[in-house]
Amino acid sequence: MKEEVKSIYIHIPFCKTICSYCDFCKVFYNELWVRNYLECLKIEIDDTYNNELLESIYIGGGTPSSLSQKNLERLFEIIKSLNTRKLKEFTFECNLNDINENLLSTLKNNGVNRLSIGIESFHKEKLKYMGRNHTLEEAEEKIYLCRKMGFMNINIDFIYGFAFENIKTLKKDIKQILSLKPDHISTYSLMIEEGTLLHLNKFKRATDEEDALMYETICDVLELRKYNHYEVSNFALKNKESIHNLRYWQNKEYFGFGLGASGYIDKIRYTNTKSLTKYLKQDFSGEKELLSPRDIMNNHMMLGFRLLKGINIKEFETLYHVKMESTYPINPLVKNKDLIIKKGNIFINPDKLYIMNEILLKMI
C-alpha cells in the first residue's frame, strides 16, 4: 500500500541581506520577483499536491520573515488549500531583526505553532564574519515578545567552529543562547562552502581536532541543562523534538516546493531548479533520481543512524524483508563498539558520533 505523504517543505529564497556562510538557494529581495514567485509556487503546489493529509509544514529559506505583509498574506492563502486537518507542527523560519508584533500576529492567526530563529551566535567576532548584527538584549526582547504572543515551541540555530574560537568563548556563547530558554537548539559546525563570501575570502575554520572538542563541549553543556540529544546536531526539551525533521531522518516521503527545494516522493529524490529565471517561467524541474530498493535501504541506514536512538531492527526487517546483519557488516561494527544494540534498536556509540561518517563508510 502506497504511503500517504504527510509533510511539506516550502522554500522562500528572498533575503534582505546575504550571510557570508550561507550556501542555500537565495536571492536579494525584490518585490516584483516575490509576487511572481508566489504565483508560480501556487502553480507548482496545485500541479503536484493531491490533498494528502499533512502532519507538518516547514517554511524555510532564504528568509521567509522578509516578506511584506501583503506577500505574507498571499503565502498563507496558498497554504490554506492544503489539507491541514491533522497538522501537528507548522514551522516558520525568522530572522531576529524581522520579529515584531505584526509578523507574529499574522503567523499565529495562520496556524504557525513553531518558530525557528537563526540567531547563530552572540560572539561579536563571529557575528562580524557572518555578516550578522544583533545583541543578547535585542534577542531577549524578541523572544519575550514571541512567548507573549503564544509561541511555546521555539528553535534557535547555533553555529560554532571558527578558527579563532576557543572553549571558553564557546561556553559563554552557548550559555547566552541558553539564557533565552529555547525549546530546541540546532547546532551547526561552520562549513566553508564554495561560492560563499567566507570561501571567496579564504576564511579559516577550526581544525578537525578543535571542532571535535567544541562538539563534545556543546553536548556536555546541553545535557547538563536537560536537553535531549536526539539527533547528531539537534537538542530538545521534553516532547519538543522536530516532527518535520524527524520525517527526513526516518527516510519518509515529503514534498519540497519552491526554488531549489528538495523532496522525496514515489521512490524519487528530487531537487527543483535553482534558477529563479526558470522557476518564474514555471519550469520547476531540476535533478531527479529514481532510487533502487537498495538505495532506499541505504538511505534508511544513513539517515536513521543520525538519530541517537538509531534504527529499530524489527521494523527495518519488516519494511525491507531482509535481515540487517546479512545485508550490512553489523556484527564486526558491534564487536569493535562502533555500534550498540539495545532494546531492539541499533545505534552509533554516543562516544563515536563525531566520526559517524567513517562508521557509515565501513557499513555502506
Q: Tell me the average pLDDT across 209-222.
A: 96
Could you count the other beta carbons within 10 Å of the beta carbon of residue 164? 11
Cell output for 173? 556563547
C-alpha to C-alpha distance for 62 and 19, rounded to whole angstroms: 10
Which has more pLDDT, 158 or 16?
158
Q: What is the pLDDT of residue 1?
A: 41
The answer to whether the CB of 84 falls within 8 A of the CB of 54 is yes
Please state, rounded to an integer, the average pLDDT across all residues of the chain.
Answer: 93
Q: Is the pLDDT of residue 301 over 50?
A: yes
C-alpha to C-alpha distance for 66 and 12, rounded to whole angstroms: 9
Cell output for 364? 555502506
Q: Tell me the average pLDDT across 330-340.
A: 95
Q: Tell me the average pLDDT across 114-137.
A: 92
Q: Tell me the average pLDDT across 261-289.
A: 96
Q: What is the pLDDT of residue 200?
A: 64
Q: Tell me the average pLDDT across 122-145.
A: 93
Q: Is the pLDDT of residue 27 over 70?
A: yes
Strands (E), the chain: 7-12, 14-15, 27-28, 56-61, 89-94, 114-120, 154-160, 184-189, 228-231, 234-236, 255-257, 262-265, 268-271, 287-290, 311-312, 339-342, 345-348
The answer to whether the CB of 130 falls within 8 A of the CB of 122 is no
Q: What is the pLDDT of residue 321?
A: 96
Confidence band (pLDDT; 50, 70, 90) for 23? Answer: low
Q: What is the pLDDT of residue 21?
A: 62
- Domains of the chain in start order, with CATH, are 7-249 (3.20.20.70), 309-364 (no CATH)
Nearest to 3 by CA among 56, 49, 52: 52
C-alpha to C-alpha distance for 191 and 211, rounded to whole angstroms: 11
Q: Is the pLDDT of residue 166 over 70?
A: yes
Q: What is the pLDDT of residue 201?
A: 66
pLDDT over 90, % of the chain: 86
Secondary structure of 65-131 in the HEC alphabet?
HHCCHHHHHHHHHHHCCCECCCCCEEEEEECHHHCCHHHHHHHHHCCCCEEEEEEECCCHHHHHHHC
354: which DSSP letter?
A: G
Reported as type and span, the H/E element at residue 279 is: helix 276-280
Which has more pLDDT, 168 or 197?
168
The answer to whether the CB of 245 falls within 8 A of the CB of 235 is no
Nearest to 76 by CA among 59, 61, 93, 89: 59
C-alpha to C-alpha distance for 305 and 60, rounded to whole angstroms: 24
Predicted TM-score of the model (pTM): 0.94
Q: What is the pLDDT of residue 15?
A: 84
Q: pLDDT tens, 31-77?
A: 999 999 999 999 999 999 999 999 999 999 989 999 999 999 999 99
Q: Is the pLDDT of residue 26 over 80?
A: no
